Amino acid sequence: MLEETVEHLENRKNSDKNFSYEIIIVDDASNDGTSNYALEFSKSNKNVELKVLTLEKNRKKGGAVTQGILCASGKYILFVDADGATKFSDLDCLERELNKIISKEGYGVAVGSRAHLVKTEAVVKRSFIRNFLMHSFHKVLYILGIRTIKDTQCGFKLFTRKAALNIFNNMHVEGWIFDIEVLLLAKYFNMPIVEVSVTWHEVDGSKVSLIKDSIKMAIDLSIIRLNYFLGIWKIKDYNSLGKIKNE
């Protein structure tokens, strides 16, 4: 995945003298040698601006993504799962569609989507319980107010800098369901959102437990709903406070 990413970004840099990039790898206190591999990769690819953020304590997916984004310095900020399930060059499609919707305040979010695959054989042949849980999840999202985004969980999302920092400075959820809070915050700030189809394939080795994580996600959804509804979680507009700078 890292090689595919570098190849695509280097090709863009070579064809556009104004293009630059950085790669931030967040190692969420893993024990699989991710940080060491990334550092060795950086040593042998000195032309690549690669940063490794190693967390001492596991922060779960949402916490790891949040820390990575808050360390980013780009005009656009992309977070992408490291399993290589999404074709990285689809970044260009997200960027093109994002540029069409950016607001005068500099806000914009492009959401990678696998919704176009919902009728493919792989999805149709999934177990009854898996499809039941998927449809139940969408019903809950509808109640929460997320009604236009068909695929909220795809790990391939692109933000303008102002959108990313205003959202992720307000994040609370650190589990798998963090994408929902991201979209709820984007809606709160009236950020334009576009859903873009991406090339995606199933990757073996998922650590998600169907029943256990479905229950945990349902609990987290309730926590999100209650904390915002009761005003326990406060939302700050970091843009209006002058705490977000374009870089």
Q: Band of the pLDDT at 229, cuts 50, 70, 90?
A: confident
Render the burial of 147-162: b for 16+ CB within 10 Å, e for the rest.
Answer: eebbbbbbbbbbbbbb
Indicate if 87 and 46 belong to the same structural domain: no
Indicate if 99 and 24 belong to the same structural domain: no
| Residue 17: domain span | 1-57
The mean per-residue pLDDT over the stretch 21-31 comes to 95
Indicate if 39 and 114 belong to the same structural domain: no
Helix (H, G, I), strand (E, B) or coil at 188: helix
Measured CA to CA, the distance from residue 217 to residue 138 in angstroms comes to 12
pLDDT tens for 94-107 read 999 999 999 999 99
| Within-domain flag for 112 | yes
Indicate if 117 and 157 belong to the same structural domain: yes
Indicate if 43 and 121 belong to the same structural domain: no
Indicate if 153 and 233 belong to the same structural domain: yes
Please tell me which residue, 240 or 59, carries the higher pLDDT value: 59
Indicate if 135 and 170 belong to the same structural domain: yes
| Within-domain flag for 62 | no
The mean per-residue pLDDT over the stretch 220-230 comes to 88
Indicate if 89 and 208 belong to the same structural domain: yes
Indicate if 144 and 214 belong to the same structural domain: yes
pLDDT over 60 (residue 126): no
pLDDT over 80 (residue 237): yes
pLDDT over 90 (residue 195): yes
Output the CA–CA distances (angstroms, integers) from residue 210 to 50, 118, 217, in the order listed: 34, 18, 10
Helix (H, G, I), strand (E, B) or coil at 109: strand
| Within-domain flag for 68 | no
| Within-domain flag for 189 | yes
Q: Band of the pLDDT at 48, cuts 50, 70, 90?
A: very high
Helices (H) and strands (E) in the chain, counts: 9, 6
Tell me the percentage of the chain whose pLDDT exceeds 70. 86
110 neighbors 99 (Cβ within 8 angstroms): no
| Within-domain flag for 92 | yes
pLDDT over 90 (residue 143): no
| Within-domain flag for 49 | yes
pLDDT score at 184:
92
Cβ neighbour number for residue 241 with a 10 Å cutoff: 10
E strand or H helix at 115, and its extent?
none
| Within-domain flag for 65 | no
pLDDT score at 218:
78
Indicate if 82 and 154 belong to the same structural domain: yes
Report how many domains make up the chain: 2
Please tell me which residue, 123 or 13, carries the higher pLDDT value: 13
**pLDDT, mean over the chain:** 87
81 neighbors 179 (Cβ within 8 angstroms): no
Indicate if 126 and 36 belong to the same structural domain: no
Indicate if 104 and 137 belong to the same structural domain: yes
The mean per-residue pLDDT over the stretch 157-171 comes to 97
pLDDT score at 85:
85
pLDDT score at 124:
44
Q: Band of the pLDDT at 208, cuts 50, 70, 90?
A: low
pTM above 0.85, yes or no: yes
